[in-house]
Chains A and B, each alone.
Chain A
Amino acid sequence: MRHPNPELLSAHIDGALSTTEAAALAQHLGVCAECRRQCAELRAVSASVQAQAPSTPSFVSPGLFWARLAARLQTPRREAWPGISLLPATVFALLGAALDVLLGAASLVWLLERWGLMRPLAPRLLAQLVQRDAPTVLAGLAPAWLASGSKQLCARVLQAWGAVRPEVQDAVLYVGLATLLCVALGGLLMLFGLWLSTRLDQERNERSMTRWNTARS
């Protein structure tokens, strides 16, 4: 008589065989006393191990277990940054991005107007402001460059700058200032959002812990 793979007998007592395998094995067990004996032994071993499973009273109480665990947990969580609710941060980041887009669009419009590719849509107040204030800004920066010992470099930059057409100077200054403003504004809003997220998260944790302690007591 050909006996089945021993692993099948073990799987059989766990009810882990497919319908076809189980049917074939059942047929074999009907005629094979040796395999029936092996199954009985496997069941006995399985039962004796199951009887060793520790019961609930063997362990410390849930309250004590949690108290010990809570004292060892690192709070805020190690991955607290990605873990915190980022909704406020996201809202403020989106707000910053929207403002950036607006400023970018305004820059584009201004440039198109400036180069005659578009009919004037808005007063050129900002453009005039940049034109008027740019030399003052440069004049303020130049001494700093000179003081840092980059005299030649600064002179070269100023010389190169002077050779640039006024409308390009305007465009560079305007776009540069707009970019700085965008970055600063977006960054500040993002930081504020993150701060708000962390703060809200801490408050929620405290509320949650209070609820848990109340429920437990």
Chain B
Amino acid sequence: MAAANRPEAELIASARSGDMGAFAQLVGLHRMRVLRTAAGIVGSVHEAEDVAQLVFMRVWDHLDDYDSAGSFTSWLYRITVNLSIDTLRRRRYEAELDEELQAGARSDPEALALHADERRRVQRAVAQLPDKTRAALILREYEQLSYKEIAEALKIPIGTVMSRLNYARRSLDRLLREEQDEQREASEP
């Protein structure tokens, strides 16, 4: 299929002129990076798909705002990070409302058992990081972006990228240790 090998710039130009086929190919090229990044930030595969849909809808509507002098991928990551953080804020607000309604009726033993799992443990620690710090960490660890690319995607200086990543890793290290200690204490008779 020759059309599948069209260069990205050509696909963007065609999509800009309303060519949905070209846009579908663009989506195909970038779908996974958007999904992975969103999943890393919002911490849920299901929600990441909603975010990814919103990201591509926004891209479709705002293709004319994309400056072709810059990297399309960085622009896409920026939209993904912003929409993921928006989703988190909305979710927290809804959770607060939910908490008020349920007034402390929690602590499901099964859920606690799930949290003991290593995967969930790291995810929980990642979820405790500040949103912008987590975004930088996900772009680095999931997407393997360079510091320069992260700086471009988040529109921050490279020095800030460096300090956010350092803060994220050290915080995670501390959080994971604390949790391990708590579990050890809980399991001791």
> Could you list which residues of chain A lie within 8 angstroms of chain B, going by C-beta atoms?
6-7, 9-11, 14, 16, 41-42, 44-46, 48-54, 56, 58-60, 62, 65-66, 68-70, 72-80, 82-85, 201, 204-205, 208-209, 211-212, 215
Known A45-B173, A52-B122, A77-B60; judge A14-B165 contact (CB<8 A): yes
* Chain B: minimal CB distance from A44 (Å): 8
B45 lies within 8 A of A75 (CB): no
Judging by beta carbons under 8 Å apart, are B61 and A78 in contact?
yes
In whole angstroms, how far apart are the Cα atoms of A14 and B35 in the complex? 23
11 contacts between A and B (CB under 8 A): A10-B162, A42-B173, A48-B172, A49-B172, A54-B48, A58-B39, A62-B28, A65-B52, A69-B53, A79-B62, A211-B3
Give the interface centre of A11, A75, A82 by most chain B CB atoms within 10 Å.
Answer: A11
Which of A9, A54, A84, A209 sits near B39, CB closer than 8 Å? A54
Q: Which of B15-23, B85-93, B100-108, B180-188 contacts A (4 or more CB under 8 A)?
A: B15-23
The answer, among A7, A16, A41, A72, for a CB contact under 8 Å with B53, is A72
Question: A42-B169, A56-B32, A84-B17 known; A49 and B137 CB under 8 Å?
Answer: yes
Interface centre among B56, B126, B141, B169 (most CB of A within 10 A): B169
Q: A10-B165, A80-B18 are in contact. Are A66 and B172 (CB under 8 A)?
A: no
Flag whether B146 is at the interface (Cβ < 8 A): yes
State in angstroms the CA–CA spacing of A49 and B122 once bound together: 7
Would you call B4 an interface residue if the criterion is a C-beta within 8 Å of the partner chain's C-beta atoms? yes
B123 in the interface (beta carbon within 8 A): yes
Report the bound CA distance from A60 to B49 in whole Å: 8
CB-CB under 8 A from A6, the residues of chain B are: 166, 170
Known contacts being A6-B166, A54-B36, A65-B52, is A83 close to B16, with CB within 8 Å? yes
Chain B's closest residue to A41 (CB) is: B173
Chain B: which residue is nearest A75 at the CB level?
B20
Count of chain B residues near A, Cβ 8 A: 54
Residue contact A52 to B18, C-beta cutoff 8 Å: no
Is there an interface contact between A53 and B122, defined as CB atoms closer than 8 Å? no
Q: Is the CB of B162 within 8 A of A83?
A: no
> For B142, what are the chain A residues with a Cβ–Cβ distance below 8 Å?
49-50, 53
Q: Are A205 and B162 in contact (CB under 8 A)?
A: no
- Are A54 and B24 touching (Cβ within 8 A)? no
> Do A10 and B20 touch (CB < 8 A)?
no
Contact of B147 among A11, A41, A73, A75 (CB under 8 A): A11
Report chain B residues within 8 Å CB of A75.
18, 20
Most buried by B among A14, A77, A78: A77
Excluding A11-B165, A69-B27, A85-B17, 19 further A-B contacts by CB distance (< 8 Å) are A10-B169, A10-B170, A14-B147, A46-B141, A48-B118, A49-B122, A49-B126, A50-B142, A51-B119, A52-B40, A59-B39, A62-B28, A65-B31, A65-B52, A72-B57, A73-B60, A80-B18, A83-B64, A215-B3
Given that A7-B162, A53-B141 are known contacts, is A204 also in contact with B60, CB under 8 Å in the complex?
A: no
Q: Is the beta-carbon distance between A62 and B147 smaller than 8 angstroms?
A: no
Contact A201 B28 (CB under 8 A): no
User: Which of B20, B28, B169, B173 is within 8 Å of A73, CB to CB?
Assistant: B20
Q: Collect the chain A residues with CB atoms within 8 Å of residue B20's CB.
A: 70, 73, 75, 205, 208-209, 212
What is the distance, in angstroms, from B81's C-beta to the closest C-beta of chain A?
16
